[in-house]
Structure 1
Amino acid sequence: MNYESGGVGEAERYALPDMSEGGRRRRWLVYVIVAAAVVLVVGYLALGHSKPTDQPFGASDPSSQIPTVTVMQPGSNTIVRDISATGTIAARREMPVGVAGEGGRVTRVLVDAGTWVKAGQVLATVDRSVQSETAASLAAQVRVAEADAKLAQADLDRAKQLVSRGFISQADIDSKTATRDAAVARVNVAKASLAETQARNGRLDIRAPAAGLVLTRDVEPGQIVSAGSGVLFRVALGGQMEMQAKLAESDLTRLSVGVPATVTPVGTDEQFKGQIWQISSVIDPQTRQGIARIALSYAPALRPGGFATARIIAGSNQAPLLPESAVQSEGGQNYVYIVDKDDKVVRRNVTTGEVSDAGVAIAGGLDGSERVVVSAGAFLNPGDKVKPVLQKRAS
């Protein structure tokens, strides 16, 4: 009996694994449970350093759904109202100079374009050989007339001495007096003729009517000139220049005499300060433009006939200034979005003013202390909750 029991126990001890269908299912179940436990442990270790939350698994943070927007407080800015214009450079007062006398052959030209001249300075001379001889002849006639007048005066003086002795009658005295007066008159006529000829000869010289800068010269030695020869020289009075700025009718109404302007000739970076000294009283019916004349001091870069641009300062005022992206428009009404104290979006209608590279001036609707949404206004609606981020103002 002992052998039997011992044999049975040993057989059970070394029995083969259960390969039945039920045994396989149990083993697979054990594998699945172990794999699930490993996944849970790995997940726990991976999330072990994350910040715990009070929200249930799978729930999202409501604050993460609030959009962030950039806002600015525009404050009050000095808005310069400027007008851009184009036009040409010209002499402020141009003096055309031609032949004032009878003309003739030009013998010398004494100045050229770019020369500064004084009032009355000779610019060119005309041949006067014939006129000089005429003047000499008249001068001789003056001397003859003066000699006759001197002789007539002497005869009259002698006759007066003989009247008291009875040798000369009063009638003779009257006759000699008349002779003397006629001789004196002939002297005056001769002198007047000489003076006229000398004046004519003086007009043969082409002279500057006033001090200034010679702009053009259209005459050469040997050229025959006359009163019909046209303009021989052009002189800018005092060298003063101007820009003739073409402006729209609406812009002209905003300007006045004395308004400052900055002129930049084409082809150079030089800028010249000036001011408006005359505004056109006539508007071109075709272009609806007028001329604003900007006075400028002489400079070599200011060449009459050249093209230039001008920036005219029409005035300034204080107003909030916003970027164009902040201003929305709907139905002809401009508006902006502002963020109130509860960080909610509020629509505010505004009136816009000057628009420039710096931004849009707000003429009404804002005092500058509001937090204005800079951009993304098209994606917002009044009442939306936002996270405002204040944009620093440029210094």
Structure 2
Amino acid sequence: MYDPKTPHRLTLVTLFGMAALLAACSRPAEKTEDIRPVRAIVLKSSDIDVNAEFSGEVRPRVESRLGFRVGGKIVSRKVDTGTVVKRGQVLMQLDPQDLKLSQAQALASLRAAETNRDFARAELKRYQDLKTQNFVSQTVLDSKESAYKAAQATVDSAQAAYRGQSNQAGYSALVADIDGVVTSVSAEVGQVVAAGTPVVGVARTDEKEVVIGVPEGRVDELRKISDVQVRLWADPQRAVPGKIREVSPVADPATRTYTFKVTIPQELAEAKLGMTAVVSFSSKTAQPQIKVPLTALFHEKGATSVWAVENGVAKLVPVTVAGAAGNELVLGSGVKPGQTVVTAGVHMLKPGQKVKILGAEAAQ
């Protein structure tokens, strides 16, 4: 049965539902606090001006590339790379057969010359006796004296040749000329080598140095610094004093850097050849300085400032830049040691901005 009041009831229900929906949509959204994550550092004052750090390699100061003084075929090799050797120790041996034959030939020539010399001496003595009896003329005696002198000269020449061949025979053995360690072996048994060809490298282990490459723009600056520290990559907590021994006058053709050789003390026994080391160049300033990274500066309307964090709120602090020190800037005024300064995210801040320092808990 049709009820005339039913449409009116449906309309009222619909109106009430829409009103409730509109009321729900018109509620204000909950406000969230705007906190910016940043990175920051605590300012410190120091009179140490660290100019640069360079990594390099520990190398021997003296390294010999040894080779045979004569050519021949290698018949034995006594050492390997890393072998500790003493001065005079045999490293390699050539086949001495040909050298011994040449020595024997030189000795035979010497014996023949000595025989001729002895005969010329006896002839001279005999003719001298005859001259005293006036049986021969002075001219004949003079010829015998000349023959004896020529024979003696032949003996001297043969002796020198024999000594040379004896030395050549001795050169068949390659011996170490210093106490050290074998760094390289570039020839094997059975190989025929020419005289002077390097076959074994031997380095002294008592004197070591670190070799680094320095950019051309910093050569003149760093070569004047006396405070040089060396740290091994294997033991970064220990620093030992170093001394610049040599600065290359010519740039490396591959890297376009200049080679610095820094001597390290002998008491650094753990420094082995080939290790990686870091060389730090430092110099003191007349007054303590406060340094910040370049990313900490904020420029606005011609003024230079930094964002200081106090109680979790960023505050813009005007500063003056006194100069540069490597990749950092020296601040002349405006801040003091102990303040926390933002180093990343400076362009996202505004005065009174609440910030959260990333890594703060880990740093504490």
TM-score normalised according to structure 2 size: 0.65
Equivalent residue, structure 2, for 1:244: 211
Q: Is the 8 A contact 2:45 2:337 kept in 1?
A: no
2:152 is aligned, of 184, 187, 194, to 184
1:312 lines up with 2:268 in the alignment = no
2:273 is aligned, of 295, 303, 307, to 303
Distance 1:333 1:289, change over 3 A: farther
1:91 lines up with 2:60 in the alignment = yes
Separation in structure 2 between the aligned mates of residue 215 and residue 288 of structure 1, nearest angstrom: 27
1:171 counterpart SS class: helix
Greater strand share, structure number = 2
Deviations 1:340-395 (A, max 9, x none): xxxxx984433254378xxx7745347x8x698645896659xxxxxxxxxxxxxx
Equivalent residue, structure 1, for 2:299: 330
Separation in structure 2 between the aligned mates of residue 148 and residue 161 of structure 1, nearest angstrom: 20
Equivalent residue, structure 1, for 2:95: 127
**Per-residue deviation, 1:255:** 0.6
Equivalent residue, structure 1, for 2:221: 254
1:155 counterpart SS class: helix
Separation in structure 2 between the aligned mates of residue 374 and residue 326 of structure 1, nearest angstrom: 14
Gaps of 5+ in 1: 1-73, 339-344, 382-395
Q: Is the 8 A contact 2:320 2:331 kept in 1?
A: no
Seq. identity, %:
22
Deviations 1:222-241 (A, max 9, x none): 42331179432112246533
Separation in structure 2 between the aligned mates of residue 371 and residue 88 of structure 1, nearest angstrom: 37
Distance 1:287 1:103, change over 3 A: closer
Equivalent residue, structure 1, for 2:37: none
Gaps of 5+ in 2: 1-42, 309-315, 353-364
Larger radius of gyration: 1
Alignment of 1:21-100 (within 5 A): 77-100=46-69
Deviations 1:259-314 (A, max 9, x none): 5131324x55575633322233344687553332222356454233x5x2414123
Q: Is the 8 A contact 2:227 2:282 kept in 1?
A: yes
1:351 lines up with 2:354 in the alignment = no
**Per-residue deviation, 1:202:** 2.2
1:232 counterpart SS class: strand
Count of aligned positions: 294
1:319 counterpart SS class: strand
Separation in structure 2 between the aligned mates of residue 285 and residue 151 of structure 1, nearest angstrom: 68
Q: Is the 8 A contact 1:213 1:236 kept in 2?
A: yes
Amino acid at match of 1:246: G
Q: Is the 8 A contact 1:326 1:373 kept in 2?
A: no
Separation in structure 2 between the aligned mates of residue 110 and residue 259 of structure 1, nearest angstrom: 41
**Per-residue deviation, 1:111:** 6.8
Amino acid at match of 1:158: R
1:173 is aligned, of 135, 141, 146, to 141
Alignment of 1:125-204 (within 5 A): 125-204=93-172
Separation in structure 1 between the aligned mates of residue 105 and residue 253 of structure 2, nearest angstrom: 61
Equivalent residue, structure 2, for 1:294: 262
Distance 1:217 1:259, change over 3 A: farther
1:254 counterpart SS class: helix
1:234 is aligned, of 191, 198, 201, to 201
TM-score normalised according to structure 1 size: 0.61
**RMSD, matched Cα:** 4.0
Q: Is the 8 A contact 1:90 1:241 kept in 2?
A: yes
Amino acid at match of 1:146: E
2:82 counterpart SS class: coil
Amino acid at match of 1:252: V
Distance 1:206 1:297, change over 3 A: farther
**Per-residue deviation, 1:143:** 2.7
